[in-house]
A and B are shown apart, each in its own frame.
Chain A
Amino acid sequence: MSTLLYLRGRRLKNQLKSLIHKPARLIYVILIAACLVLTLVSGRAATLPGNGAFRDQGELSALAAAVYLLMFLLALNAGFSRGGNLFTMSDVNLLFPVPIRPQTVLFHGLLQQMAASLLLGFFLLFQYANLRMAYGIFFPQLLMLLAGYAAATFLGQVTAMLIYSFTNGNPRRQMLCRAVLGTVLGVLAAYLAWRILPGGRSEFLPSAVEALNGPVFRCLPVAGWLGLAEDGLLRGSAPAALAGFGLCAAYFAVLLAVIFRADPDYYEDVLKSAEIAQSAITAKKEGTMTEAPPQNVRVGKTGIRRGWGAQVFFYKHLLENRRGRRFLLSGTSLTMAAVVIVFSAFMHDAGLLPTFLMSVYLQMFSAILGRFNQELTRPYLYLVPEPPMKKMLWALAETLPSAALEAAVVFLPVGAILGLSAGLTAVCVAARISFAMLYTAANVVVERLWGGVSSRVLVFFLFFVVTLGLAAPGVAVSLALADVSSGAMLSADALANAAASLTALFLCRNMLQYAELNNQ
């Protein structure tokens, strides 16, 4: 145990020391801390609606339960292919061979995962001001929402590990588990549809809240129980909170008992996941962050068949997209689309703007995973004897059809939920495409100007700043037209974004001529 304590203490100490040696990271941490303090202060100072006219807190517990379910399912899904994400590759190589009891090592992994789950939910804290104004919650209640989020992710990971150890190398068991999970989700979806849809658009939100806070959803392991606990905490019902958290604790105890009884030799069950995590870490360090290719790729028709010179990058990307995605869009894009659609249902009364902002905010993360970024880390884009501007445009071309499809997938349902006209929906689609161009251009600018910067944190920060700079003209024009109509505002924003992006791309046209590929 002392070895593990030493390891934990040393890692923490070195992490803190690295802040001194890497000023970019220190600045990032200070900025994050400053933003958090600002959020907390502004939340406290926020003008609250009079006469306690907050929104129903039931909405918040329903939303929390839905998010917990999503996080739990995402972790669970990994269980079928790669097991729990409890250990790093250094643990596998250095800790597993050491003569320490596997149970002790597992405890170390669980602690590590618990900390990671908490960090994962850190972004929730930035919602304090919004949630305080909308639902009147206090900071301790927000902390409990964060704890619920971390618990859902953590329990999902442990369950994933158990599923993997049960199904690993046994397709029949894997099929059985998938069938059970699929049936449960199908029944749940049918139940929610039955509860929500008959009320029509006007009753969508109350029906959804009622269904997600109803007894059937509450029976759902982890997400339902955590929803119950959060509801209890928000409404001041100690028995409900205790029951929810108690059920989760009991579930965790059962999982641990089953893991140790069934398979104390769990090392193999976490190996695959550690390897995948290691590749992700390496990719992140090298700036090659991209959507991981699926475990089993359907190769289909072979051959690129089209494209000559720089054009071939575009057709190669289309081929890679076909093989890399189970659906027309990537998993990340579909998840983000689902989040925006659910968000629009909850923010129905607030109009189009919050949903649009949410959609372009989340779009930033799928833009970072584009094929162009991956291409920049391979030598071919630089070596191919074609003019740099031509290569850049063809290598970026794939983002446009993907962005258009993604925008349509998001805004067709959102338009229906918010009751937008066909024209306004089309404008939303166009504006979202313009943001895809904006993010792509920001990416190119950062690579062109700071391609040699090796700190990924600093690169992300620069990307954020450049994005704000490129978006500024659009925001200014939109604000000027704010009183006219949403359509005019978004159309002007789309035009300004497109103009800013094209200008930025033109100015960076020689980027591939003066590469700084220092990661290979």
Chain B
Amino acid sequence: MLRINHVTKRYGKTAANRDISFFIDDGQIAVLLGPNGAGKSTIIKCIAGLLRFEGDIEICGRPNKSLEAKRLLGYVPEMPAVYDLLTVEEHMEFIRRAYRLEDDGEAQRLLERFELWDKRDKLGKELSKGMQQKLSICCALLHRPKVVIFDEPMIGLDPHAIKQLKEVFGELRDSGATVLISTHMIDSVENSWDVVHIMVNGSFAATRKRDEAAEQSLEELFFAVTEGNREDAAQ
């Protein structure tokens, strides 16, 4: 469960997020959409505990900066976060040791699933951008988090990895995890979303649940909100 309560994030005089509140229940996939510069990555980084902010964020009922919350959170950053001088397998070992996990074979399973097992001895700096992104995803999922946030996870991924990732979204939901995905690739989440939040200029311009959207596709909904907004602004 993820609860965001009146979160505002300012960079100097510019407010990147203004008074944002939302809630995602266990076993729910929420999608965050919005044009460039809408503040999606900022709110994601606030949830991950990477930025200071005003307001409250709770992960499974604990403040997001507490150790308990960190243990329950998985985060896939927008830019793949890999170390140049560690091999693929060492990245997994690093995360396993940092989270104090015994080696139960989950690292190998994830690497095999994302076709990285045969690259396990390659250094981070030798991986292509797409492979770095896959590794970043594996690192975020290794400790079996209860809340997972993805910031543009599809960028650079090959079709096989996209397929795997979509399956992962479904499996996370089925296992009762809370999932938040920020993306521009609307097609990639068309079939998996439960609730969508559309951000414009640092605030939520619209929130729809799947059953409220009726026959409207995610793309239609997105353009109706963002282009409608632009027209309003022009008037």
Bound complex: CA of A299 vs CA of B45, how far in Å?
33
Q: Do A385 and B49 touch across chains, with their CB atoms under 8 A apart?
A: no
Question: A297-B123, A515-B51 known; A383 and B94 CB under 8 Å?
Answer: no
Q: Does A310 contact B (CB under 8 A)?
A: yes
Tell me the smallest distance from the CB of B80 to a CB of chain A, in Å: 10
Of the candidates A299, A304, A452, A517, which one forms a contact with B94 in the assembled complex, judged by CB atoms under 8 Å apart? A304
For the residues of B in contact with A, the DSSP-based class is: mixed
Which single residue of chain B is at the shortest CB-CB distance from A292?
B84
Stretch touching chain B among A335-343, A374-382, A424-432: A374-382
Bound complex: CA of A439 vs CA of B99, how far in Å?
30
Tell me the smallest distance from the CB of A244 to a CB of chain B, in Å: 42
Q: Do B90 and A380 touch across chains, with their CB atoms under 8 A apart?
A: no
Bound complex: CA of A514 vs CA of B85, how far in Å?
27
Q: Does A419 contact B (CB under 8 A)?
A: no
Could you say which residues of chain B place their CB within 8 Å of the CB of A310? 98
Which single residue of chain B is at the shortest CB-CB distance from A305?
B93
Tell me the smallest distance from the CB of B16 to a CB of chain A, in Å: 9
Q: Does B23 contact A (CB under 8 A)?
A: no
Which single residue of chain B is at the shortest CB-CB distance from A515?
B50
Chain A, residues 486-520, CB within 8 Å of chain B (1/0): the string is 00000000000000000000000000011111101
Tell me the smallest distance from the CB of B108 to a CB of chain A, in Å: 14
Q: Does B79 contact A (CB under 8 A)?
A: yes
- Please report which residues of chain B, range 63-77, place their CB below 8 angstroms from some CB of chain A when the two chains form the complex: 65, 67-68, 70-71, 73, 75, 77
Bound complex: CA of A380 vs CA of B136, how far in Å?
11
Chain A, residues 164-196, CB within 8 Å of chain B (1/0): the string is 000000000000000000000000000000000
- Please report which residues of chain B, range 27-71, place their CB below 8 angstroms from some CB of chain A when the two chains form the complex: 45, 48-52, 65, 67-68, 70-71
Question: A302-B90, A303-B93, A384-B98 known; A316 and B83 CB under 8 Å?
Answer: yes
Q: Do B98 and A382 touch across chains, with their CB atoms under 8 A apart?
A: no
Q: Do A383 and B85 touch across chains, with their CB atoms under 8 A apart?
A: no
For the residues of A in contact with B, the DSSP-based class is: loop
Q: Do A516 and B51 touch across chains, with their CB atoms under 8 A apart?
A: yes
Bound complex: CA of A520 vs CA of B139, how far in Å?
17
Q: Do A383 and B89 touch across chains, with their CB atoms under 8 A apart?
A: no
Question: A302-B87, A302-B89 known; A517 and B71 CB under 8 Å?
Answer: no
Tell me the smallest distance from the CB of B212 to a CB of chain A, in Å: 34
Of the candidates B70, B84, B90, B123, which one forms a contact with A384 in the assembled complex, judged by CB atoms under 8 Å apart? B70
Of the candidates A316, A320, A323, A382, which one forms a contact with B50 in the assembled complex, judged by CB atoms under 8 Å apart? A382
Q: Do B121 and A308 touch across chains, with their CB atoms under 8 A apart?
A: no
Of the candidates A297, A378, A384, A514, which one forms a contact with B52 in the assembled complex, judged by CB atoms under 8 Å apart? A514
Q: Does A49 contact B (CB under 8 A)?
A: no
Could you say which residues of chain B place their CB within 8 Å of the CB of A309? 97-98, 100
Of the candidates B49, B77, B93, which one forms a contact with A515 in the assembled complex, judged by CB atoms under 8 Å apart? B49
Bound complex: CA of A194 vs CA of B37, how far in Å?
66
Tell me the smallest distance from the CB of A368 to a CB of chain B, in Å: 18
Tell me the smallest distance from the CB of B211 to a CB of chain A, in Å: 34
Could you say which residues of chain A place their CB within 8 Å of the CB of B99? 384-385
Question: A293-B85, A380-B95, A384-B70 known; A452 and B52 CB under 8 Å?
Answer: yes
Q: Do A293 and B125 touch across chains, with their CB atoms under 8 A apart?
A: yes
Using C-beta atoms within 8 Å of the partner chain, give the interface range for chain A: 35 or more
Could you say which residues of chain B place their CB within 8 Å of the CB of A23? none
Could you say which residues of chain B place their CB within 8 Å of the CB of A307? 97
Q: Does B115 contact A (CB under 8 A)?
A: no
Which single residue of chain A is at the shortest CB-CB distance from B95?
A380
Question: A299-B87, A515-B51, A517-B45 known; A380 and B97 CB under 8 Å?
Answer: no
Chain A, residues 445-464, CB within 8 Å of chain B (1/0): the string is 00000001000000000000
Number of interface residues of B (CB under 8 A): 36
Bound complex: CA of A320 vs CA of B82, how far in Å?
13
Which single residue of chain B is at the shortest CB-CB distance from A324?
B85
Tell me the smallest distance from the CB of A285 to a CB of chain B, in Å: 13
Which single residue of chain B is at the shortest CB-CB distance from A286?
B79
Could you say which residues of chain B place their CB within 8 Å of the CB of A517? 45, 50-51
Which single residue of chain A is at the shortest CB-CB distance from B83?
A320
Bound complex: CA of A316 vs CA of B96, how far in Å?
13
Q: Do A386 and B51 touch across chains, with their CB atoms under 8 A apart?
A: no
Q: Does A387 contact B (CB under 8 A)?
A: yes
Bound complex: CA of A310 vs CA of B67, how far in Å?
12
Q: Do B85 and A320 touch across chains, with their CB atoms under 8 A apart?
A: yes
Bound complex: CA of A378 vs CA of B85, how far in Å?
14
Tell me the smallest distance from the CB of A394 to a CB of chain B, in Å: 10
Could you say which residues of chain B place their CB within 8 Å of the CB of A380? 81, 94-95, 98, 139
Q: Do A379 and B98 touch across chains, with their CB atoms under 8 A apart?
A: no
Could you say which residues of chain B place their CB within 8 Å of the CB of A384? 70, 98-99
Tell me the smallest distance from the CB of A175 to a CB of chain B, in Å: 24
Tell me the smallest distance from the CB of A191 to a CB of chain B, in Å: 38
Of the candidates B52, B67, B87, B121, which one forms a contact with A385 in the assembled complex, judged by CB atoms under 8 Å apart? B67
Q: Do A516 and B100 touch across chains, with their CB atoms under 8 A apart?
A: no
Question: A384-B70, A517-B50 known; A312 and B77 CB under 8 Å?
Answer: no
Q: Do A379 and B50 touch across chains, with their CB atoms under 8 A apart?
A: yes
Q: Do A302 and B121 touch across chains, with their CB atoms under 8 A apart?
A: yes
Q: Does B86 contact A (CB under 8 A)?
A: yes
Bound complex: CA of A517 vs CA of B47, how far in Å?
12
Bound complex: CA of A278 vs CA of B46, how far in Å?
29
Of the candidates B49, B67, B125, which one forms a contact with A386 in the assembled complex, judged by CB atoms under 8 Å apart? B67
Tell me the smallest distance from the CB of B96 to a CB of chain A, in Å: 9
Q: Does B78 contact A (CB under 8 A)?
A: yes
Bound complex: CA of A307 vs CA of B65, how far in Å?
23
Bound complex: CA of A299 vs CA of B86, how far in Å?
9
Which single residue of chain A is at the shortest CB-CB distance from B123?
A297
Q: Does A319 contact B (CB under 8 A)?
A: yes
Bound complex: CA of A145 vs CA of B90, how far in Å?
49
Could you say which residues of chain B place their CB within 8 Å of the CB of A379? 48, 50, 75, 77, 81
Could you say which residues of chain B place their CB within 8 Å of the CB of A313? 98
Bound complex: CA of A303 vs CA of B85, how far in Å?
12
Bound complex: CA of A382 vs CA of B65, how far in Å?
9
Which single residue of chain B is at the shortest CB-CB distance from A391?
B98
Other contacts beyond A304-B97, A316-B90, A520-B45: 13, CB < 8 A: A297-B85, A299-B121, A303-B89, A303-B93, A308-B100, A316-B94, A319-B90, A324-B85, A378-B81, A514-B65, A515-B51, A517-B45, A517-B51
Closest 8 CB pairs of A and B: A385-B70, A517-B50, A312-B97, A385-B71, A320-B85, A384-B98, A323-B85, A385-B67
Q: Can you report 16 residue pairs joining A to B where beta carbons are below 8 Å apart? A: A293-B84, A297-B85, A299-B121, A303-B93, A312-B94, A312-B97, A320-B85, A382-B50, A386-B98, A387-B67, A452-B52, A515-B50, A515-B52, A516-B50, A516-B51, A518-B50
